[in-house]
Amino acid sequence: MTDLNKERRAHALLRWHDDVIDPWAPFDPHLAAAGFYTRAQKKRSDAALDQWDEEHPWIESPQLQAFHRLEAVGVFSDADYFSPSKARDQFYTKRLKQWEADNQRTLSTGSTSGVPGEGVKPRRRHRCR
């Protein structure tokens, strides 16, 4: 069953964007029953978020890159979380350098820049989909 309150909110939002519906069009219960307004609003919202993400790429800090690298090599597990207060003290880059020195080698990151953690995909995303 379609939630008519969600459909009414989506209709109200869509009225501001005349490329989707006529701003003067009244709420249509038949379209709402089919979920038209929420589908159209979700599509419009997802497109706007995708455009924002494209224009403003998410760039990891060197500390977060080091944290992900340490996760990838097994120093940290999924139970360990990134701590901004530790990052402020350069904990993760220092720990990565210590790990590399202890192992007398560096693992291939798949990149030519030599930035720790580059080429390692983070497990946690900044935005849920």
pLDDT of residue 55: 94
Q: Which residue has the tokens 């935005």?
A: 127
pLDDT of residue 19: 83
Where b means 16+ CB within 10 Å and e means fewer, 78-93 reads: eeeebeeeebeeeebb
pLDDT of residue 59: 87
In this prediction, the residues of the chain whose per-residue pLDDT falls under 70 are 104-129
Cut 0.85: pTM above it: no
pLDDT of residue 100: 92
Q: What are 51's two structure tokens?
A: 């455009």
pLDDT of residue 60: 86
Give 87-105 pLDDT, tens digit per residue. Answer: 999 999 999 999 999 986 5
Please name the helix (run of DSSP H) or strand (run of DSSP E) that holds residue 30, with its range, or none: helix 29-33
